[in-house]
Amino acid sequence: MRTILIAIGALTALAGSAFAAEPAKTVDTKMGKILATENGMVLYTFDKDTKGKSNCDKDCLKKWPAFHAGAKAKAEGEWTLVKAADGKEMWAYEGKPLYTYVEDKKAGEANGDGVGGVWHAAK
C-alpha cells in the first residue's frame, strides 16, 4: 500500500510540472492569432533584440514595458527568461524577449504592431 501511495504521489508531481501554465495565451485578432498577457494585452517583439537578449534600454522600457516574469518563474520549452534593462527577469518566446505597449489601452488592441518598422505583435 505504501508503495502505491508513493507512486501516486510521484506521478502527481510529474503531471503537475508537465502541465505548468504558460506565461501568455494566444488570442484571435484581425491579424490572426497572436500572443497576449493573461488579461489580453498584446505582446510584442523588437527587431533590435538578439536571441536571448533584450536591447530595449530603460528609456525604451517606458514605452515598451517588459513582460516581467514572477519571482518563481521557470523557463520551460520555448518559454525562456532574459534580463530586462531594469534588471528584472522578463519572458522570451523562442528566444525573443516580449513587451507590451503603453498605447494599447484595452485587451486585444495592437497599436504597437509595425511601430518604427521594428516592433511586431508576437505570434
Interior angle at CA 115, CA 34 and CA 62, nearest 5: 90
Pull the grid cell for residue 15.
503531471
User: What pLDDT, on the 0 to 100 scale, is given for residue 30?
Assistant: 83
Decide if pLDDT at 86 tops 60: yes
Q: Chain-wide mean pLDDT for the chain?
A: 86
Q: Residue 22: its pLDDT value, please?
A: 85
Q: Rounded distance, CA 107 to CA 80, Å?
A: 24
H or E, element range at 3: helix 2-18
Per-residue pLDDT of 30-75, as tens digits, reads 889 999 999 999 999 999 999 999 999 999 999 999 999 999 999 9
Residue 4 has pLDDT above 80, yes or no: no
Higher model confidence: residue 11 or residue 25?
Answer: 25
Query: For residue 20, what pLDDT is reported?
Result: 59
Kindly state the DSSP code that residue 115 receives in the 8-state scheme.
G
Dig out the grid coordinates for 67 from the structure. Answer: 513582460
Task: Give residue for cell 514572477.
Answer: 70
Task: Report the b/e string of 34-59 with b at 16+ CB within 10 A.
Answer: bbbbeeebbbbbbeebeeeebebeee
Confidence check: pLDDT of 12 > 80: no
Q: Is the pTM of this model over 0.95?
A: no
Reply yes or no on whether the pLDDT at 76 is more than 90: yes
